[in-house]
Chain A
Amino acid sequence: MIRRILRLTRWELFKLRRLWMPWIILAVLVILNQLSLWGTYATYDSTPADQYVVSVPANAGGEESAIRVSCDDIEDGTANSLLADIPDEFREQVRQEVESHRERCLEIREQIAAGRQRFVQHCILPSSLANGLKAVKDFVPILVIILATSVFGREYTLGTFRPVMSRGVRRWEFLGAKALSIALTSGAWLLIVSLTVVVSSLAVALLTGEDVISADAGQWLSAAVIFGKLICALLPYIAVSLFFTVLTRSGTGGVSIALGHFLFELITISPLTKIFSPTVGNYMLATNVMMVLQLDFVPPANEGASVFASFFDMYLNPLLVMFAYTVVAGAAAAWLFLRRDVTGPRGE
């Protein structure tokens, strides 16, 4: 049975590879992700690293003039050599003026270091991986809804259930293979997005002279957790999208209701919480998915505490809700799909 589903999945992927839709969605994800990364790089690149320059007024030979001294000059003593050209009667005054900037230079150094750290966090591996996935996390559910409703609704539009089923393919196996192929395609999107992040991170490291991989090894785990959370978040949306498509027997109908449901939840969570109960949001799919995606996992502070226990404490309710939606919507889709007659092409 599993072998048959895997075989069907392989051939569903064969069809998916030849459609434009998955490639367009992938391109959208890569563009969004790369814009985020290179946008940060552009900000970094325009930040002066050591060009804080002070112009100190100096009265030389009866004419007002100025010397330009950078923080680097102040810190490495070069400023003293610049003072040599200033007449003796003004030198001490100017030296004191230059010295007064030393503290400010330290502050600027700290700000630049913090900015660089943020940049490294964002653009250099492994942090860039986590950030790259975070940049697309809000779009992925919507794009998965579009993909799932489109590829399943297409079968109704074209009437291709008939030739498939009349070859002895069981309906629930076909539905399962569709769901699996959509999940695998979505996983492949995220992997490809991650790969493009890796390539871009290497390019950024080369351009800036930073280390290719920063010292923050914990970010590898963070990236893996975000990847896993995104995959988990997609499953209920795949199930819900398939259910609405089967219900309406149409890709257009399916995508309208599934996206409507997604947006309805996001829009109505606030009034529903006020009208009914503050816990209403605990049972809504969008709220729980957003919670899972937005809450960063914080490893336990005290030694000996289980990472898994902390993980489940944080995510148990959202994961249960997402699991329930996946099972209920998947079962409802299968039940409807199995009991209905297979019709010819419906066209749209």
Chain B
Amino acid sequence: MAEDRYKDIVIATESLTKHYGRIVAVDGLSMAVPRGQIFGLLGPNGSGKTTTMGMLLGLVKPTSGRFRLLDAGISHREALRRTGAIVETPCFYPGLSGRDNLAYFQGISGKSNQAELNELLERVGLGDRANDRFRTYSQGMKQRLGLAYVLLGDPEVLFLDEPTNGMDPDGMAEIRELIRSLGTGGRTVLLSSHLLHEVEQVCDSVAILSRGRLVVQGRIDDLVHSLAGDRLRVRTTDNEKAIGILSELDWVGEVTAEDGTILVTAPAERSPELTVALGRSDVYVAELSAEQMSLEQYYFKVTGSGEGGTA
């Protein structure tokens, strides 16, 4: 890989592929995750998100292709020591307490810092239950311990796979806030989630996978805007007449009626001219706004999958 190209890239993959027998889990994935971003990995079940994370973490051997984690010139092992990751469900030792589990993972990394353990347990809201055995934790508490685990050693890159899975709405909001705070100070977060609104609220950029292939990657604002384009939604005193007037304007593209409004393909900066043109024909604008597309709408549009709240 040309190193200068990847200077500000923390994770880069090039034609990364994984086959399980005849099943292709990841197919020639080339993706780049910029430093200091909260980066969402989206895709339906079986799209290759977890396999991709597994390959980046050295848990799954790629069939072909290359990847780089953190800086060039450091070993993958060294990169992993500067990474925190939780893949799928948080897996810990049920007979050990939350604190002992963290102490174990801190210890095998060659560190011993009780103050860090206390601080992390408090930060994820497990301070009171730190000495209880992991087997007595609820699903939400397990997720919290998983978050404390990924933060051990203050890593530069975090891999979070469904971090709010099994949490109640309050807990989810709390963890979303925590993830947002983690993405500050140059730290990079790779977040895989089925919850599209969660990704939209938390992430700066996303990559959308489908059947092991990268469908699209970019900043959420740019992606959503690219499909929404220059579309205006207008409600007037006489929509039927307005459609006729607007269709005559040479700088206006497609004009369609939808749910009592008119969708107009036109540059947003020419909205005043559009208002004037309608006014001249005694058609008055009751409402005019630039059309917004949600990440969810965008996702379903590019993946061609059905409607729903989750990916």
Contacts and interface: CB of A to CB of B under 8 A. Distances in A.
Decide whether A and B assemble into one complex.
yes
Interface of A: 4, 7-8, 10-11, 14-15, 18-19, 158-170, 339, 341-342, 344-345
A18 B108 contact: no
A12 B54 CA distance: 24
B108 A341 contact: no
Contacts of B92: 158, 160, 163
Contacts of B110: 4, 7
Contacts of B105: 163-164, 167
A168 B91 contact: no
* 9 tightest Cβ-Cβ pairs between the two chains A and B: A168-B80, A159-B91, A342-B59, A168-B81, A166-B85, A166-B57, A341-B60, A11-B107, A168-B77
A161 to B, nearest CB: 8
B58 A344 contact: no
B26 interface: no
B91 A345 contact: yes
Nearest to A7: B110
B89 interface: yes
Given A158-B92, A166-B58, A344-B87, 11 more contacts: A10-B107, A11-B104, A15-B104, A18-B95, A164-B105, A164-B108, A166-B80, A166-B85, A166-B87, A167-B105, A344-B88
Interface in B37-78: 54, 57-61, 77-78
Given A163-B105, A165-B59, A342 B54 contact: yes
Contacts of A164: 105, 108
B274 interface: no
B10 interface: no
A167 to B, nearest CB: 5
Contacts of A14: 100, 103-104, 107
Contacts of A19: 95
A159 B92 CA distance: 8
B59 A166 contact: yes
Interface of B: 54, 57-61, 77-81, 83, 85-96, 100, 103-105, 107-110, 149, 159
A162 B55 CA distance: 12
A18 B104 CA distance: 12
Contacts of B88: 159, 162, 344
B11 to A, nearest CB: 14
A277 B105 CA distance: 52
Contacts of A10: 107
Contact of A341 (B54, B81, B93): B54
Contact of B61 (A160, A168, A341): A341
Nearest to A8: B108
Nearest to B51: A341
Given A7-B108, A166-B57, A166-B87, A18 B149 contact: no
A165 B89 contact: no
Nearest to B57: A166
Contacts of B96: 15, 18
Nearest to A158: B91
Nearest to B83: A166
A19 B93 CA distance: 10
Nearest to B107: A11
A342 B55 CA distance: 10
Q: Which residue, B96, B104, B149, has most C-beta atoms of chain A within 10 A?
A: B104
A4 B78 CA distance: 14
Contacts of A4: 110
Contacts of A169: 108
A4 B93 CA distance: 21
A231 B78 CA distance: 36
B91 A163 contact: yes
Contacts of B79: 168
Given A164-B108, A168-B109, A342 B60 contact: yes
